Every structure is written in C-alpha cells, then in structure tokens.
Structure 1
Amino acid sequence: MKKPIAYNPEKLLYKPIFTKDELAYLEALNSVSKSEYLLSPRNIQSFSISFAHTSAVLEGNTYSAVEAELLLTLGQTGAHRQLSEALMLKTMQSSFNYIVEESQHSKTDARRPLSYIVKNAHAMVSEGILNQQYCGTARNEPVLITATDYIPSDIPQQLEDGLQIIETEYDSIKNTFEKAVYIHQNLSYLQYFYDHNKRTARNMCAYTLLADNKMPVMFTERSTEEYARAVISYYESEPADYSAFKDYFIASYERVCSRMNAFAVEQAHALVFSTNQDINL
C-alpha cells in the first residue's frame, strides 16, 4: 500500500520551470501564431467555443466539437446528451469570456487582485452546477482525488494562506510562460475550492497569457489521459517537479499556435535556430 502524500505548502513557492531554450521556443511560437488577430469578434468567439469544449472534454463531457458549436452559437442541445453537459459547456465559455475581459482590463487599469479573479472565474464556471455556497469560496471539508495518493489540506485557513502564497509568488514571476504553468499547477494542487479547481486553473493559465498579449493555451481533448498524468505527476512529486506538465504544455502550445498559422511549428523552429540557439524539444 502506498503511503498517503500530504499537502505541502512549501510546494507553492516558485521555482524555475522552463529552460532558456524552451522559453525561446515558446516565445517564437507565439510570435508566429498571429495572436494579434485573436481578439477580433469572430476569432475570439470561435476560440471561446473550442476552449470551452476542450476543457469540458477533459472533465468527461461527451459533446462533439460540432455539437458544442451548435449549442454555444445556436442554443441547440446535442441529441441524447444530459442537460448537465450543456450547462458545463455554457459555464466554461462564460468563465473564459470573463477572463478575456479581465485580461484586457489589466492593460488599461490596475489589475485586480489575482485571488479576486480566481474566485470570480470559479464562481462563473460553477454557476448552476455547484451549490451556491461552494461557488468562489474556500472549501471547508476534505475531498478525494482519484488516481493519486495526494491528500489536499481540508483546513480553511491553510487554504486561504495557500491562495495568498500563490498570489504573492505569481506576482513575483517575470516570465509569462512561467507564470502560466505555475498558476495552473498550483491552483490544481491547492484544491482551494470544493470542486472545479482544474477548470479554474485552465482559465487562469489562459488569462495569464492573454494579459501579456500572447496566444492562450488550450489543452486538447485528444490527450485527456496525458493531461491527467501530467497534473498528478506534480501532485506526487517531492520536491516539486514540473517536467511532465511542461512537456505537455509545450505540445499543447504548438497545437494552439497552429490554429491560425498552419506552419507555426516549422517557422518557430526556424526562428529559434536563426538566432543560433541550440534547442532540443
């Protein structure tokens, strides 16, 4: 029998995630992704649908991409689908649209506190799904996480302290890609909310990139198991090890940067190599 793995607040302290070469490659990918066109009304609507769908599939949603588009554009529910699945897609899109608005607000006004954005993003993704008392508030009871021996804290004050640590560390990180992976992994690890922690973490990961005018990452439905393994690997690592998730992140970023430029990966590699950086990915 494996020994249970207790919550460790020291894991929330930031440590570098990517190598210099990996960061150069991610920057190159973004530079050729045509992300400057993402916020046009047509493009951001399409992206929000895909983001909601891929995020929902990671939670077991059975809607196809076409069914998700019909639901979120025309209000047509999928044949023989549960209403809870339709609600999941709608709340995920609403929460994504919220973080898009927040990311743009941060460019013209002082950014609202990270914890405020996190709690609002969670409340929106949980609306109508969780009991209202659980939306955007700290958990006050234990939770089980399947497929792992990790046991999150169930002490409300420890959860509040953990969210504060995350906010402080996040604000201190200079590189946007580092911040994006840091916030995703540590919100997932803390399990601050009763449920929907990873959904919120994915939104905050996207928020971080959007706030710096970068293409937001989308975790594809084609690798649901890979995503789960990469998240759980971090839960169970001691000391904190981001390696499995950062590899998954890079692969996901390649896919999303190819959505508006089919040659993004080839061009990014060429761009990196042209600056004489020896990169191994």
Structure 2
Amino acid sequence: MAAFEPGFVAHVAPAVHSCLVLPGGPRKECGIGTAEHGNSPRFESPPRLAPTDHKVGRALLCSIRHEPLFRCPQAHVLLLDRFSPAIAMLAAPLSGASARTCCSESCISATRAHCEKCLIDHINTAFLPLDARMTHIRAVARFRSSRHNRATIAPSKWRDWTNRATIAPPTEPNAQPPMSADHEILKSIQASPAGLTLAELLAAHPLVARRTAQRWLSQWVDAGIICPAGKGRARRYLVVGSAAPAALAIEQDRFPGFIPLSADSRDILAYIDQPPQARKPVGYQHDFLDAYQPNVTWYLSESLRRQLHKMGKTAQADAPAGTYSRAILSRLLIDLSWASSHLEGNTYSRLDTLELIEHGKAAQGKAAIETQMILNHKTAIELLVENIGTARFDRYMLMNLHSALSENLLPNPTDEGRIRQHAVDIGKSVYRPLSAPQQLDEALDNLLDKANRITDPFEQSFFVMVHLPYLQPFADINKRTSRLAANLPLFRANLCPLTFLDVPDHAYSRAILGLYEMTRVELLRDLYVWSYERSTQEYLAIKQALAEPDPARLAWRELIKQTIREVVTHPGQDALSLIHLAVMANVPQAERSNVQALIVEELRRLHEGVLARYGLRPSEFAAWQTAHSAQPARPAQ
C-alpha cells in the first residue's frame, strides 16, 4: 500500500483537527480527545489555519487513512460544508457517508486499500514539481482509463498553485496537458503575422489580468522573443525575425484613409511619400506670400466657407466677441492643449491632461518636458481668450503667444518670443527656410498685414495656419503657435474652436511637408476641413446644454482678478480686509455682498493651475500659502 513520508501526517494533522469544529461544540462527538482514542500530544495547542487554505485541504486528505475521526459521518458532512466538494468526495468512501461517489465500485471493501491507493496517488502529485506532476498525472490517467470507468480527477488549471482538485471529463490515454496562460498568449502572437495589440490579446485571453500581460510582454521584448511596433494604444507585438514589422510600420505611416482627399491632395502625397533623397531641395518662395491678395485670393472656396460656417455656428453668434470661447474655456483648455501637444509627440492622455489642468497633478512616469508643454498650451489659450477684445494679428500678440508656448522648452531662453537670429533645419524635409533676420522681419510684417485684412474668419484662420509655419519666424515651436493663432478669428466670431482632436500626427506632418516643399495647400486644406468637422462634433452636445455664465462674475471679472492678485502678492496683510477695501472702493452698495462672496470663492479655489489667469508666479503663490498656513485661526464671532 502506498504510504506518506514519515512524520508528514504528524506535522499536518494538528492543523486539520484545529479547523474541524463540528456543529454542537465539543470535539468529543468525533472521538477526539476521548478515552476511546486517547489524548495524543499532537493535538495540544494546534495552530489554527483558514478552512480554505490549500494546505489544510491536503492535510485533510492525508489524514483519512490515519485518523479515526474521518470515519465519523458527521465529520464527512462537515467536509462537504467547509471544503471543496471534490476533496470531500475523495474522503467519502473512507468515511462511509457516500460510497457511491467513489471512482469505482471495486474500491468498496473492508480494507478500502484500492481507494486509498488512488487517493494517495493524487495527493503525492500535489507535491511534485510542475513537469514531474504532469508526467505523473498522465500515467495515473492511463491507469484509470483502463480500470476506472467513472469520474477522473485532474487539476483544474496547471498554473493554479493552490493545487485544488476538480472533477474533469475522462482524460484520453495520450492527452497533452493544457498550456499555461503565458504560453497561450505567446502562441497567439506567433500565429498572427501582423502582430496583436494589448487590447486584442486581452480580448482573446479574458482571464489574464492586464498588468500580468504587460509584464509578460515586457519580459519577452527584453529577451528578444518578440518586438513592438507602433506607439501608444496602436502598439503591436510581433515575433522577432518576421517581415511583418516593416510592413506594419509602412502601413501605420500611410495617410489615413478615413480623411477624404481630393485628386490634388493625392498628387502631393505621391511626391511627399518619396524618400528625401528623391525630392528636390527648395528654399523660401517669396512669391507664395506676395501673390496672395486678401479677400481676392481664396484658399477656401465660397462653398467650403459656407459649409464651415454652418458647422461652426453657435447660439452666441451675435454676442460680444469671445463669449462662446469663455463659456467653454474649461473644456477648451483640455481638448486643445492635449490634441495640439499630441501632434508634437506628447504621450499625455486626455485624462492625464485633465488632471494636470484642473488639479495641477502631473502624470507619473511622464517626462517634465511633456508636462511643461501641456501647461504652456493652457497659458497660451488663456492669453488668447482673456484678450479676445483687443487681440489682433500683430507682433505683440504673436510674440507673447510664442513666449507662452515656449516657456522653459527652448535650449536658449532668449529665443522665447523673439524672431530667430540664426538658420534652422526642418527634420525629414528638404525645405530650407529664410535665415537672414532682416528678411524674416520684412516677411513677417507682410504676413501680419495681409492676415489682418482678411474678413472671413475661416479664411483668416487657414491663412495663418499656412504661412506662419512656412515662414518659420521663431527658433522652434512655430507649428504650435500657428495652431493656436488659427483659433483667434474663430474665438472673435463666437464660432466653434478648432481643437485638432483625433488628427493623426503623421497626417498633419505630411500636409505640412507638402506645404514646405511644394507650396501647395490642398492636402493641408483637406485636413483642416476634416479636423474642423471632427471638432464641431465633439462640441455639439455642449452647444445645446451650455450653462449661461454668471452675470456678476462676467461684469466684475477684472476686479476679481486684480483683488486676487493683490491678496496673494501681499501675504502679510489680512485677505478679507483687502477684499473688503477693494469692493467698497469699486462696487455699488447693492452688489457689494455678492461680489465680495465671488472674490472669496475664487480665492478658495486658487491653485497652481490657474495662476496665469491672475498674473501670478508660482513663487508668489507658494509664499502666500506659507504665510496663510502660519497664521492662527480667527476666533469665532
């Protein structure tokens, strides 16, 4: 008869008995500790384990043939209640409670030796290594398939290290054990010539946790088993050595088919898709700007302009300039900051951008330059919206807009908001912009003059989006400046903004390359129209459900800003006193209490993400916070 290692039962039996507390209280109902069975020293002060612990389950099975306890029907009932049915079923033939659940009628005998042998075979396999266990189980399966015509017991999952048993269909004599989950995922990748994304892998293997799959993929990439292709959510995992990665990279780099293109745009793409060595180097073409006559030359046809006006019209069309952009400012800051930064390769998600802008929380694991880029966009957008009544296309607006976007991002800080004084190169392009500062100054003045004379907001917007990056007046960050400046005419006309949501970065870069090297706007125009339609779809819901701005906050917004700034820049003075003095000096008596409450509310909501709105620096805000927290609380009146 098969036997266990010496001392095994003596080691685990106390844990088993400590968990078997039968209904009714005393253990003597099963004979434990009675004169009939004696008081074994093994049962003194046994350690208590959780009933579901897999070690207790094993100990329970091991004790079946050694302890009289398990011949008590009450003990078997307890097993059925507190342990898995499969374990209790194994114990049933020995306890006498349900002999028919045994694997074979031949096991029912006075000695029950055959059933014990089967049981011990299963228990012993639980303590073998995985490979040896698989071999042992296959041998036991072949033995049972020939002599046992009832249920066969097999592990439910080979990767389940709890080693619990479940009832499974009869195993074929030569059947192979199921693959582990990591091998199944790797096999799925190997079976897919084009590779699989993480989302596709998780959909095909729903029992695998996302972080577990990410860890396995990272390990396989480090080991050189698979290789990633693509970025972000579009990243696919392919087998190393496959020809698919190169084909996939080419496929992902193509201009997206869901953006409608004209025949002229396809001609541009055909030229731009050639390698740089096959394209003719070109410089700045003065005729491109000189030939444009405001309100005579049109980049956007009349029918196209009508279509854009129809798409972008809002309920505030007849309101003062900037009313709509102020009303949607919170949403606009997130959408435009995220989408424009994404076109520059920023990996912040939309949710990360929301947390950063609304709560000042930088995303973990992101580079500081990405965080700075998002915050600079926010500051620049606020600059445009807050000065919408006076802003026009002039050097003051353009320089300050570039300064806000480039803060702490340029190698030379003196280049922030200043016309470049040196030559620049365009990556992956054969275009060479102007390099002489005097020529840049003249071309920029000509550009701004023509932009201000354009009457249609969409034509004005697109004109700026074309000629600012083509001229490259700044050392860097020209395209970002053009994307935000293109929204200025739309803000003034209370039209839906152009947020660039869902614009693929490789589509935008191709359209810009066509502009640089061919001075043709058709591809960029098609992308502009598609992008604006996409932006308006995002804002359709908030057009209808837009809350009216608070009239008092709108009327006294300058006073609110000045007072907040006065309070923060004078941390040594009492905040409520400064607010009271400002309200008394500027607000009629009937509105004083309401305006004072608005200022106090704004002060309570002040955080790092809104400092630019009040013209404050982080150091001033930090000093005010320190002084404010050090002040003792006022006694209750």
> CA 1:65/1:205 → structure 2, altered by over 3 Å: closer, same or farther?
same
Q: Which amino acid aligns with 1:94?
A: T
Equivalent of 1:252 in 527, 531, 541: 531
Q: TM-score, normalised to structure 2's length? A: 0.39
Residue in 1 that maps onto 2:402: 122
> CA 1:33/1:25 → structure 2, altered by over 3 Å: closer, same or farther?
farther
> CA 1:233/1:263 → structure 2, altered by over 3 Å: closer, same or farther?
farther
CA distance in 1, matches of 2:308, 2:502: 21
Question: Is the CA contact (8 Å cut-off) linking 2:316 and 2:494 kept in structure 1?
Answer: no
Residue in 2 that maps onto 1:97: 382
For residue 260 of structure 1, report the CA deviation from its aligned partner. 2.5
Question: Is the CA contact (8 Å cut-off) linking 2:469 and 2:478 kept in structure 1?
Answer: yes
> CA 1:100/1:244 → structure 2, altered by over 3 Å: closer, same or farther?
same
Q: Is 1:136 equivalent to 2:413 in the alignment?
A: no
CA distance in 1, matches of 2:350, 2:288: 36
For residue 38 of structure 1, report the CA deviation from its aligned partner. 3.6
Residue in 1 that maps onto 2:285: 8
Residue in 2 that maps onto 1:270: none
Pairwise mapping of residues 233-252 of structure 1 onto structure 2 (< 5 A)?
Answer: 233-237=514-518, 240-252=519-531
Equivalent of 1:185 in 445, 466, 475: 466
Q: Is 1:23 equivalent to 2:305 in the alignment?
A: yes
For residue 47 of structure 1, report the CA deviation from its aligned partner. 1.0
Q: Which amino acid aligns with 2:526?
A: D
Question: Is the CA contact (8 Å cut-off) linking 1:33 and 1:257 kept in structure 2?
Answer: no
Q: Which amino acid aligns with 2:517?
A: E
Q: TM-score, normalised to structure 1's length? A: 0.85
> CA 1:22/1:112 → structure 2, altered by over 3 Å: closer, same or farther?
closer
For residue 33 of structure 1, report the CA deviation from its aligned partner. 7.9
Q: Which amino acid aligns with 2:308?
A: L
Q: Which amino acid aligns with 2:496?
A: M
Question: Is the CA contact (8 Å cut-off) linking 1:95 and 1:124 kept in structure 2?
Answer: yes
Question: Is the CA contact (8 Å cut-off) linking 2:405 and 2:481 kept in structure 1?
Answer: yes
Q: Which has the higher contact order (CA 8 A, sep 6+)?
A: 1
> CA 1:44/1:165 → structure 2, altered by over 3 Å: closer, same or farther?
same
CA distance in 1, matches of 2:487, 2:314: 18
> CA 1:28/1:65 → structure 2, altered by over 3 Å: closer, same or farther?
same
Structure 1 residues 50-92: Cα deviation after superposition (integer angstroms, max 9, x where no partner): 1001011111100000011111111111121111110110001
> CA 1:63/1:198 → structure 2, altered by over 3 Å: closer, same or farther?
same
For residue 195 of structure 1, report the CA deviation from its aligned partner. 0.4
Structure 1 residues 174-217: Cα deviation after superposition (integer angstroms, max 9, x where no partner): 21111101011100000000000001001100112112222221
For residue 102 of structure 1, report the CA deviation from its aligned partner. 2.5
Question: Is the CA contact (8 Å cut-off) linking 2:324 and 2:491 kept in structure 1?
Answer: no
Question: Is the CA contact (8 Å cut-off) linking 2:347 and 2:370 kept in structure 1?
Answer: yes
CA distance in 2, matches of 1:28, 1:124: 32
CA distance in 1, matches of 2:461, 2:393: 16
Q: Is 1:39 equivalent to 2:317 in the alignment?
A: no
- Secondary structure at 1:138 match in 2: coil
Q: Which stretch of structure 1 is more off in the superposition, 32-41 or 145-154?
A: 32-41
Identity of aligned residues (%): 27
For residue 132 of structure 1, report the CA deviation from its aligned partner. 2.4
Q: Which amino acid aligns with 2:415?
A: Y
> CA 1:170/1:40 → structure 2, altered by over 3 Å: closer, same or farther?
closer
CA distance in 2, matches of 1:261, 1:113: 29
Question: Is the CA contact (8 Å cut-off) linking 2:324 and 2:494 kept in structure 1?
Answer: no
Runs of 5+ unmatched residues, structure 2? 1-276, 544-637
Structure 1 residues 197-244: Cα deviation after superposition (integer angstroms, max 9, x where no partner): 00100110011211222222111244111111111111112xx42111
Q: Which amino acid aligns with 1:137?
A: R
Q: Which amino acid aligns with 1:115?
A: R
Structure 1 residues 120-164: Cα deviation after superposition (integer angstroms, max 9, x where no partner): 100010112123210111111111111221100111011111110
- Secondary structure at 1:183 match in 2: helix
Pairwise mapping of residues 1-281 of structure 1 onto structure 2 (< 5 A)?
Answer: 1=277, 2-13=279-290, 14=292, 15-31=297-313, 38-41=324-327, 43-103=328-388, 105-106=389-390, 111-112=391-392, 114-130=394-410, 131-237=412-518, 240-261=519-540
Question: Is the CA contact (8 Å cut-off) linking 1:100 and 1:210 kept in structure 2?
Answer: yes
CA distance in 2, matches of 1:243, 1:214: 23
Larger Rg computed on CA atoms: 2
- Secondary structure at 2:531 match in 1: helix
Q: Which amino acid aligns with 2:480?
A: R
CA distance in 2, matches of 1:118, 1:153: 19
> CA 1:55/1:218 → structure 2, altered by over 3 Å: closer, same or farther?
same
For residue 10 of structure 1, report the CA deviation from its aligned partner. 2.0
> CA 1:153/1:175 → structure 2, altered by over 3 Å: closer, same or farther?
same
CA distance in 2, matches of 1:222, 1:178: 20
> CA 1:259/1:38 → structure 2, altered by over 3 Å: closer, same or farther?
farther
Displaced runs of 4 or more, over 6 A: 33-37
Q: Which stretch of structure 1 is more off in the superposition, 4-13 or 52-61?
A: 4-13
User: CA-atom RMSD, angstroms?
Assistant: 2.0
For residue 112 of structure 1, report the CA deviation from its aligned partner. 4.9
CA distance in 1, matches of 2:451, 2:395: 11
Q: Which amino acid aligns with 1:247?
A: D
Runs of 5+ unmatched residues, structure 1? 265-281
Question: Is the CA contact (8 Å cut-off) linking 1:57 and 1:221 kept in structure 2?
Answer: no
- Secondary structure at 1:53 match in 2: helix
For residue 262 of structure 1, report the CA deviation from its aligned partner. 5.6
Residue in 2 that maps onto 1:268: none
- Secondary structure at 2:528 match in 1: helix
Q: Which stretch of structure 1 is more off in the superposition, 64-73 or 125-134?
A: 125-134
